[in-house]
Amino acid sequence: MLKLYTNTNFLTETYRRQVFPLLFDLVFKQHQKLLEKYSIVSNVNDANIVVLPLDYAVFLKQREPFLALLKAANTAKLPIWIYTAGDYGFTNFIPNSYTFRLGGFDSKMDKNTYVLPSFINDPYASVLTQGFTVLKKTNTPNIGFVGHAQSGVLKYLKDYTNHLKYQFKRKCNKILADKQWFYPSSVKRANYLKRLAVNEDLETNFILRTKYRAGSQTIETQLETTQQFYDNLFNNAYTFCIRGVGNFSVRFYETLAVGRIPILLNTDCRLPLSNQIDWTKHCLIIDASSHITIADQILEYHNSLTASAFENIQRSNRNLWLNTLQRDAYFLEIYKQFKTKK
């Protein structure tokens, strides 16, 4: 069992939304499988790991408790787990620390940075009531996408304005986040999808929105757009995935959960548990800078798969999400890795 020491005064309803995800599951959800592997101890001398209880940007403002935990970890010579939330995340330079974050740039993150999957509900538990089945391989790869993708000068300028606002807030220390270069994800997404849509060697089933979730404002329309989104994932073997505001794609994990094959545009991403998962066996990672077009990279990959391999990838992806990338499963994998570090 891994014994965690933290400041439990912050594990309350007041900070519920900012709590380190594992601590949330242990305290608020009391997840039985995780409680068999982790426990929270009241004495740092009994601990294996010190955990900052809240998102780093939030807990840093609690100056005395923050420094007290760092001192406790240093005195006991224990590693520190740090959670940094949000689209961007933040790189800290605290010695002997391990950072958990949603995204960031692989080339800029050290080996002690762990990428969290986007934790989503099982789509087969609520939306896709027909249950998981694999799709048979067809001669032409069928690619789906439903989501926000809008091109044009006005959209570009709007995104650039939002980027400048972010830069201003960051420089004024109003937000704690890593530096980001301008990346108009919606514009780029629309342009890539349009190129694929005109290729006669591909079967594309794209629904492009001009607003997130089609601007849904009622429960009924939210349910409708969610159903449409997951039906598109289910009915297409491949789904095109590209980063959003932050350098990660929620759609990537939604595709895996449905048991389909993500086509991920590589933007210097780091994927979860990359030290143990061979991601090339679960998705097609596209290099947009290659002299080979994106369409040709997709066709080459699709044609390289036998019918049985094509079906096996779908099963493997569904199992990967169930057994490794769901919230509890992910932290059970983290337990295995840190258990060996003791």
Write out the H or E segment, with its range, that includes residue 70.
helix 63-76
Q: Is 107 left (phi over 0), alpha (psi -120 to 50) or beta?
A: alpha
pLDDT for residue 145: 97
Per-residue pLDDT at 324 exceeds 80? yes
Comparing CA positions, the residue from 101, 112, 100, 121 lying closest to residue 253 is 121
CA dihedral for 312, 313, 316, 322, sign (positive or negative): negative
Q: How much is the average pLDDT of 70-84?
A: 97
Name the least confident of 138-152, 209-223, 287-301.
Answer: 209-223
Name the least confident of 158-167, 212-221, 235-244, 280-289.
Answer: 212-221
pLDDT for residue 212: 67
Taking only the tens place, the pLDDT of each residue in 289-314 is: 889 999 999 999 999 999 999 999 99
Q: How much is the average pLDDT of 132-144?
A: 97
**3-class state of residue 98 by DSSP:** strand
Q: How much is the average pLDDT of 128-152?
A: 95
Per-residue pLDDT at 319 exceeds 80? yes
Residue in the block written with tokens 């077009």: 293
pLDDT for residue 213: 63
Give dist(CA 175, CA 171) in Å, integer: 8
Angle at which helix 185-197 crosses helix 153-171, to 10 degrees, equals 150
Q: What pTM does this model have?
A: 0.94
Q: Please state, for a pLDDT cut of 70, what percent of the chain lies above it.
A: 98
Q: How much is the average pLDDT of 303-327?
A: 97
Contacts of 181 (CB under 8 A, 6+ apart): none
Q: How many CB atoms lie within 10 A of CB 17?
A: 11
Question: Is residue 151 within 8 Å of 194, Cβ to Cβ?
Answer: yes
pLDDT for residue 173: 84
Q: How much is the average pLDDT of 14-18?
A: 95
| Mean pLDDT estimate for the chain | 94
DSSP letters, 34-68, are HHTTEEEES-GGG-SEEE-SB-HHHHTTSHHHHHH
Supply the DSSP symbol for 11: -
Give dist(CA 5, CA 70) in Å, integer: 11
Provide the β-strand partners of residue 203: 142
Question: Is residue 202 within 8 Å of 143, Cβ to Cβ?
Answer: yes
Give dist(CA 251, CA 115) in Å, integer: 16
pLDDT for residue 214: 59
Per-residue pLDDT at 341 exceeds 80? no
Question: Is residue 235 within 8 Å of 205, Cβ to Cβ?
Answer: yes
pLDDT for residue 340: 72
Taking only the tens place, the pLDDT of each residue in 79-121 is: 999 999 999 999 999 999 999 999 999 999 999 999 999 999 9
Give dist(CA 73, CA 6) in Å, integer: 10
Question: Is residue 83 within 8 Å of 56, Cβ to Cβ?
Answer: yes
Q: Please state, for a pLDDT cut of 90, what percent of the chain lies above it.
A: 88
pLDDT for residue 244: 92
pLDDT for residue 222: 87
Contacts of 305 (CB under 8 A, 6+ apart): 137, 313
pLDDT for residue 164: 93
Contacts of 236 (CB under 8 A, 6+ apart): 135, 142, 143, 144, 205, 260
**3-class state of residue 207 by DSSP:** strand
Q: How much is the average pLDDT of 243-270?
A: 96
DSSP letters, 109-120, are S-TTEEEPP---
